[in-house]
Structure 1
Amino acid sequence: MTATPPLLSVQDLHITFPGRHGAPPARAVDGVDLDIRPGEIVALVGESGCGKTTLARSLMGLVPPTTGRVTFAGAPLDYSSRALKAYRKRVQLVLQDPSGSLNPRHTVYDAVAEGLRIHGYDGDERAAVAEALSRAGLRPPERFFLRYPHELSGGQRQRVVIAGALVLQPELVVADEPVASLDASVRGEILALLLRLRDELGLSALVVTHDLGLAWNIADRVAVMYLGRIVETGEVEQVLTAPRHPYTQALLSVLPEAPGAPVVLTGEPPDPSRIPSGCRFHVRCQILADGEAARAGVADACRNQDLNILTGTGETQVACHWARARTETTAAAGSGPGVGAGGGVTAEPQ
């Protein structure tokens, strides 16, 4: 997979928003590299406020980057109206709340056909809408044509939203919390649908979520985001079975099937206009708080020494001084350079 050229690539992306009343600008996305390859599902994971939705909106051209660039199919994203219209035919957005995504005055048919009409589709509109609904699992599709959103269940509404994305035959779908508002029984159906669409159509997807359990079930690769930056990334099984960053370990510890006691992080994520020096997680880090980082000799580095941006490739990487120290200890013991608990490559500090 890593040898395949990326379909979408994000390079050193920064997005800042002006501060209010003279406050410093908020660094919502503060240096992100991320690649998504054809047929690959990448989960972008993090708690609320970490910048993952801002990143997703930037990939759609809705939020131009302050610095850095987004590349699609080898070409930099052009932010002119005409270019964005052509781009959004190939990259579609699926939002969290289907009730808010669908116009209550439009029938299912009109909701799905809207994209075709915007892009001037000159084929058989009825057949295209029927095929999209059928692929999304609403069969027979004609039965849903004249129904309104309020007549559908939550799962059916989300399938209509997915059909509205599929009708344009996109190459990539950006799904922002696609099952967060659904019952547990329906969530599995929608996730299975996304996996089937990947297998049948070769569809790529970026799935934005706060739920590591969802990432485990659907993703090929996971990127864990904290305070505007990706702090751990790699193949989903490797990252989630042997997490190396303390933040990833804390997120995993609260899953129902996780062994041991949950890790309770102290305080709230820092203000993105006042990002701490050193490791941006250090003010909440359980490894630093319990003295383990000091025993590894990296406590000062955690507080004061910045870490490089992780690359967007498929390699397993972590931005953590403590994880790096463990890697070096393991390497010195004879495991070979660059491999540590979890089997990945750490980011060197600047």
Structure 2
Amino acid sequence: MTETLLSADRLHMTFPGRRGAAEARAVDGVDLDIAPGEIVALVGESGCGKTSLARTLLGLERPTSGRVTFSGKPLDYGSRALKAYRKRVQLVLQDPSGSLNPRHTVYDAVAEGLRIHGYAGDEREAVAHALSRAGLRPPERFFLRYPHELSGGQRQRVVIAGALVLEPELIVADEPVASLDASVRGEILALLLRLRDELGLSALVVTHDLGLAWNIADRVAVMYLGRIVETGRVEEVLTSPQHPYTQALLSVLPEAPGDPVVLTGEPPDPSRIPGGCRFHARCQILASGEADAAGVSEACRTVDLPVLSGAGGAQVACHWAAARVTEGAP
């Protein structure tokens, strides 16, 4: 895919440290492209910077440096321009119960975006159409219901309908099925795929679950400590992961062969990002001596790695993986 809908270019987002501490680098140099009709999964542990990156792409946070581009134009942070942008790029949150006002009916919840943006058409028809697209049929049956009268899956469909009613070009879904029962997750994922196929909708799906990424994404970007460390087509990355961090995340899936990789410690504080590879303090390859055997252990500890480009084929930011490629390892 050569055409780009949404693009992050050398994006940084820092937050002031507490009590005079150093700034926290939540997003620390990210390039990421999303093409029309493409679903990209942004994967990583809690605290790796996924949500901060998503909020920056949505225009909810202004980057410290770098830029966000949409349809070839840099994002304008003026209030009128942001309002127009948010009509084209919509957010779907993790917890539908927290996203919906318990005092608002389903109709009002879905119509809210239309009213904010001054929709001049037939509001009732637009709400019914959005609910129907989200799988709530017949839509009129749900108009006067309240969130507490719906199942978890139905509430998530209402949230999705509220995003669809403005006919966006891209949605950012933050852990869209994390709060749902396993039996309902597949239905919501199937809905997102159907919307992509029918409407050409693009999506950035933020998740810690590589299994979800496998089921829904065209491409996956694995994030660690503010930076993307591996990216590529989902089949490439999840069947042949090159970065030790990606290998560790995959090893805990029920269908993964071998024993799970147990990472030591917690991710470092984003205000104290270590030198060299930012994963080296927890890296099972470095700890086992494999990096030393490949002659890269010193580089792992001291030599920083470049920012991966936003699109293209499989890429990995890892000294050991690069050494294996040089040696012709499979």
On whether the aligned pair clears a TM of 0.5, the verdict is yes
1:283 aligns to what SS in structure 2? helix
1:200 aligns to what SS in structure 2? helix
Structure 2 distance, partners of 1:21, 1:176, is 30
Q: Note the residue ranges of structure 2 that are not aligned, 5 or more in a row.
A: none
Identity %: 84
* 1:44-59 paired onto structure 2 within 5 Å: 44-59=42-57
Q: Compute the TM-score of the two structures, normalised by the length of structure 1.
A: 0.94
Q: 1:137 aligns with which of 127, 135, 139?
A: 135
Shift, 1:314, TM fit: 2.6
- Does residue 128 of structure 1 match 2:131? no
Q: 2:221 aligns with which of 220, 223, 226?
A: 223
Shift, 1:167, TM fit: 0.3
Post-superposition Cα deviations, 1:12-69, rounded to whole Å, max 9, x if no partner, equal 0000000011100000000000000000000000000000000001111111000000
**Match of residue 174 from structure 1:** 172
Post-superposition Cα deviations, 1:301-327, rounded to whole Å, max 9, x if no partner, equal 000000000000132100000000000
2:68 aligns to what SS in structure 1? strand
Kindly provide the amino acid, as one letter, of the partner of residue 151 in structure 2.
S
Post-superposition Cα deviations, 1:131-163, rounded to whole Å, max 9, x if no partner, equal 000000000000000000000000000000000
2:21 aligns to what SS in structure 1? coil
Q: After the TM superposition, which segments of 4 or more aligned residues of structure 1 sit over 2 Å from their partners?
A: none
Post-superposition Cα deviations, 1:236-269, rounded to whole Å, max 9, x if no partner, equal 0000000000000000000000000000000000
Post-superposition Cα deviations, 1:157-210, rounded to whole Å, max 9, x if no partner, equal 000000000000000000000000000000000000000000000000000000
Shift, 1:299, TM fit: 0.1
1:9 aligns to what SS in structure 2? strand
Q: 2:22 aligns with which of 21, 24, 28?
A: 24
1:190 aligns to what SS in structure 2? helix
Structure 2 distance, partners of 1:102, 1:55, is 24
* 1:1-350 paired onto structure 2 within 5 Å: 1=1, 3=2, 5-330=3-328, 341=330
Structure 2 distance, partners of 1:313, 1:258, is 27
Structure 2 distance, partners of 1:259, 1:295, is 24
**Match of residue 348 from structure 1:** none
Post-superposition Cα deviations, 1:269-314, rounded to whole Å, max 9, x if no partner, equal 0000000000000000000000000000000000000000000013
Q: Compute the TM-score of the two structures, normalised by the length of structure 2.
A: 0.99
Shift, 1:109, TM fit: 0.1
Structure 2 distance, partners of 1:60, 1:328, is 39
For these two proteins, the number of residue pairs brought into alignment is 330
